[in-house]
Amino acid sequence: MLTNEEIKKQMALGHIEITNLKDNSLDKPNSCRLNLGDTLYYQEDDYLVDTKNGYTHGLKEEKIPKSGFLLEPGKVYLAQTEQKVKTNGFVPFLNGKVSLSLLGISISLNNEYKDDHFNDYLLLCITCTKPIYIYPNMEIGNLAFFRSLDNSLDIGMLSGKEIMKRMEQGDIIISNKDNIVINPNSVNLTLNKRIAFFRDNVLDLKKNNPIEEVEINDNGFYLYPDEIYMARTNEWTETYNLIPVLNGRSSLGRLGEHVHCSAGLGSTGYKGYWHLGLKTTMPLKIYPDMKCCQICYFTPDGLCLNDYQGKVQDLSSVNDQGYYENLSRVLKR
């Protein structure tokens, strides 16, 4: 995965082109910030979708007002990024933002990777768990790039053996390392006993959304489809000289649980817990300390001159009540 310095280099060489970049678009270690365009397309009325006809029949077009637009659960909203992307020799990879994921917003549905020689605006398929107000030109996602390889280079995803080697070298730090399970290409992480959910029925990206924290006991706790739950891992991780990416576990995916809303891309130098936006398709009971997600690691492609310094970097490691209030304040736009 390209570092931001390598992205800049390839842009200077003309191999990557990105229009309408903001001043802070390339300040992350291994991705580029993208913004939402000002237009949404959606079905205004209830509509039964036939896969032979697609979703584009009868779409309503609407400009997003500066005062905000209310997304509704159960609808799919189509939009484009404000930026247009063109590549030659590189594969674009679109990921959501943690600040949106924790509020239940997903920006893509099974189509994060584009093809090399892509030349267009990025299509967004936006869904939400609870009603929520969004705004034009807001930051909507992070764009990363993989080199389109025709020959073998010493870059790629780490194997389990390489993960253990990098842990010994100090590139990967994971607390409670004696209890973690290392898979062929990833590490399992576990669920902290405290989670939180939002009290209000309608959320707003620009307002303080009150939350309620609960502690999961050994009898378990039910998640319900109309809620988004803030959670975190038990494990504190630090990653140096590598790019971490968080994914769910297939055993939970088969039960309809999502651990994040299209926002698993991490950054070189990140220190902290992994924050999860839990949502479920059907009522599902979860338990403290259960294996809930897995983290994999990619080697950076290019110079890495800066580590992640975002809002959740090195966030307080307290384990008692109030963690999610602190997280919510940090992520407030």
Q: Which domain CATH number covers 27?
A: 2.70.40.10
Tell me if 152 is assigned to some domain. Answer: no
Q: Which residues pair with 141 in a beta bridge?
A: 34
Residues 237 and 324 in one domain: yes
State yes or no: pLDDT of 207 exceeds 90. no
Whole-number pLDDT of residue 109:
58
Residues 269 and 245 in one domain: yes
Domain boundary among 113, 147, 181: 147
Whole-number pLDDT of residue 114:
82
Q: What mean pLDDT do residues 217-230 have?
A: 95
Residues 97 and 171 in one domain: no
Tell me if 244 is assigned to some domain. Answer: yes
Q: Which residues pair with 265 in a beta bridge?
A: 245
- Three-state secondary-structure class, residue 311: coil
Residues 70 and 205 in one domain: no
Tell me if 154 is assigned to some domain. Answer: no
Output 306 or 28, whichever has higher pLDDT. 28
Mean pLDDT of the chain: 89
Domain enclosing residue 55, as ranges: 4-147
User: Confidence class of residue 9 from pLDDT cuts 50, 70 and 90?
Assistant: very high
Tell me if 294 is assigned to some domain. Answer: yes
Q: Which long-range contacts (CB under 8 A, 24 or more apart) does 182-187 make?
A: 183/294, 184/159, 184/160, 185/157, 185/158, 185/159, 185/160, 185/296, 186/160, 186/247, 186/294, 186/295, 186/296, 187/163, 187/294, 187/295, 187/296
Q: Which long-range contacts (CB under 8 A, 24 or more apart) does 206-210 make?
A: 206/68, 206/133, 206/135, 206/333, 208/328, 208/329, 208/332, 209/103, 209/328
Q: What mean pLDDT do residues 72-88 have?
A: 93
Residues 166 and 313 in one domain: yes
Whole-number pLDDT of residue 46:
62
Residues 46 and 171 in one domain: no
Instruction: Compute the half-sphere exposure of residue 92: CA atoms within 13 Å on the CB side of its CA.
Output: 27
Tell me if 268 is assigned to some domain. Answer: yes
Residues 30 and 138 in one domain: yes
Whole-number pLDDT of residue 47:
62
- What is the Cα Rg of the chain in Å? 20
Which H/E stretch holds residue 167? helix 160-169
Lowest mean pLDDT among 150-154, 231-235, 283-287: 150-154
d(CA 306, CA 91): 23
Tell me if 59 is assigned to some domain. Answer: yes
Q: How far lies 132's CA from each of 95, 127, 149, 268, 321, in Å? A: 20, 10, 41, 31, 26
Residues 72 and 182 in one domain: no
Residues 184 and 231 in one domain: yes
Domain boundary among 102, 121, 147: 147
Residues 166 and 124 in one domain: no
Whole-number pLDDT of residue 151:
54
What number of helices (H) and strands (E) belong to the chain?
A: 5, 26
Q: What mean pLDDT do residues 90-114 have?
A: 85
Residues 138 and 198 in one domain: no
Whole-number pLDDT of residue 177:
77
Residue 7's nearest CA partner among 310, 307, 302 is 302
Q: What mean pLDDT do residues 132-151 have?
A: 88
Domain boundary among 147, 175, 202: 147
Lowest mean pLDDT among 136-145, 213-222, 233-242, 243-252: 243-252
What pLDDT, in 10s, does the model give residues 254-304? 888 889 888 889 999 999 999 999 999 999 999 999 999 999 999 999 888
Q: What mean pLDDT do residues 60-64 have?
A: 92
Residues 62 and 116 in one domain: yes
Tell me if 155 is assigned to some domain. Answer: no
Count the residues in the chain: 333
User: Confidence class of residue 103 from pLDDT cuts 50, 70 and 90?
Assistant: very high
Q: What mean pLDDT do residues 91-109 have?
A: 89
Task: Report the number of distinct structural domains present in the chain.
Answer: 2
- Three-state secondary-structure class, residue 226: coil
- Three-state secondary-structure class, residue 20: coil
Tell me if 225 is assigned to some domain. Answer: yes
Whole-number pLDDT of residue 277:
93
Lowest mean pLDDT among 122-131, 151-160, 182-191, 228-237: 151-160
